Amino acid sequence: MNRYPRNLSGHGPNPPDAAWPGGAKLAISLVLNHEEGGENCILHGDAASEAFLSDIAGATMWPGERHWNMESIYDYGARAGFWRLHDIFTARGLPVTIFGVATALARSPEQMAAMTAAGWEIASHGLKWVEHRGMEEAEERRQIAEAIRLHTEVVGAPPRGWYTGRCSANTVRLVAETGAFDWISDTYDDDLPHWLEVGARDQLVLPYTLEANDMRFATAPGYITGEQFFQYLKDAFDTLWDEGDRGRPKMMSIGLHSRLIGRPGKAAGLIRFLDYALQTGGAWFATRGEIAAHWAAHHPHVRRERPSQMDRETFVGRFGGIFEHSPWIADRAFDLELGPAHDSAVGLHNALCRIFRSAGDAERLGVLNAHPDLAGKLAAARRLTADSTAEQASAGLDALTDAERAEFQRLNADYVARHGFPFIIAVRDNTKAQILEAFRARVAQDRDTEFATACRQVERIALLRLKALL
């Protein structure tokens, strides 16, 4: 099976109403990453020093050596930046989710005690703040298990949320397979939570952010001043607030690091944004655990049969009649690169239409000729497919007057004699009068034009049938 695993459709054009508490126009998740003491360092048994997310421009890893400047920048986050941010958040009574590296939490008992006293949610940020890229699956699974164990030992309770950050292609699956987490945040793919099916596990995903994130102070292009950070957060807030005001509330994540935003000049931008958001109102500040609990209660996952996951026999059996009496279209479509994007009516319609459009004129003519005449002999003899019967009945073609029936029969005969295939129209889109009007007009068209028109109508009928089915 040629299957594409990435989901490029998501919630689609009509996302669910988040229905945030109190009618909030957006939910805001403040995330403070606690990584200091868990980064690459030969003191931690690593092969080299850290080089990621610091104020050292162009930093590189130092194999086998301690990088004193890098260590001291990370130390600043734990020693000074954390406490500045703690004061900022507690003074405003704002909930915070900690992404806590287990080994960093173990080396920061006072900070962890302050997090707990403030009622902050402490989620797992992995065992160490290191790259998981290229990590053997067995080793990554071991580190996930050890992160849970150490986190539980240090914090006093197991983590209910997870974010690795420097993850591998296996991370989300491996974390979900533990069955231990209410939510996982190792994606950046949406403005709303969504569900991921991992085997028998229905895993809730709360997407995170790398742009409404102070890490941009340490990357290029990025923020230079606290004012730039404030302006970006304000613009994101205003856009999401407006969408929520128009009935489509979303979620806004804000990623923070004590060694970055904890610096005075950068913190000023965060303070300005928090005060702006609080003054404007309409936002629900919540931990990620609270957001996850709300979403699970209001939008529980419902499993359904997905076309991209069917075997060939099931796929053709289910969709072989979408194009009238032409199961070969579904059979060939099964061999396309199907994926989650094709599990909707619109997505599957596109796949089936690709086969129909790429077929030769003779095969497409066969599809046209497989369609019955409107109000013709097959209808009178009750020999239409169930779909065709329902479609013709929807426009009242099963209850014609004698005069109407006679006109349909005359038009059918004239049309087939002129074009070589029956008149086809998506009857669910039209009234009986509109169908007759189109019939009278199209019977006189040249064959090439009418062939193209009939093919478009066949595709339209297929879409309507898929929407009714899916």
Residues that are catalytic: 371
403: Cβ–Cβ under 8 A, 6 or more apart, which residues?
none
350: Cβ–Cβ under 8 A, 6 or more apart, which residues?
342
SS (H, E, C) the chain: CCECCCCCCCCCCCCCCCCCHHHCCEEEEEEEEECCCCECCHHHCCCECCCCCCCCCCCCCCECCCCHHHHHHHHHHHHHHHHHHHHHHHHCCCCCEEEECHHHHHCCHHHHHHHHHCCCEEEECCCCECCCCCCCHHHHHHHHHHHHHHHHHHHCCCCCEECCCCCCCCHHHHHHHHCCCCEECCCCCCCCCEEEEECCEEEEECCCCCCCEHHHHCCCCCCCCHHHHHHHHHHHHHHHHHHHHCCCCEEEEEEEECCCCCCHHHHHHHHHHHHHHHHHCCEEECCHHHHHHHHHHHCCCCCCCCHHHCCHHHHHHHHCCCCCCCHHHHHHHCCCCECHHHCCHHHHHHHHHHHHHHCCHHHHHHHHHHCCCCCCHHHHCCCCCHHHHHHHHHCCCCCCCHHHHHHHHHHHHHHHHHHCCCCCCCHHHCCHHHHHHHHHHHCCCCHHHHHHHHHHHHHHHHHHHHHHHC
Whether the CB-CB separation of 205 and 11 falls below 8 Å is answered with no
Whether the CB-CB separation of 338 and 3 falls below 8 Å is answered with yes
Tokens standing for 242?
A: 């407006």
- Can you tell me the distance from the alpha carbon of 124 to that of 288, in angstroms, rounded to the nearest whole number? 12
Q: Amino acid identity, residue 132?
A: H
Neighbours of 184 (CB within 10 A): 27
Integer angstrom CA distances of residue 350 from 1, 365, 460: 18, 20, 11
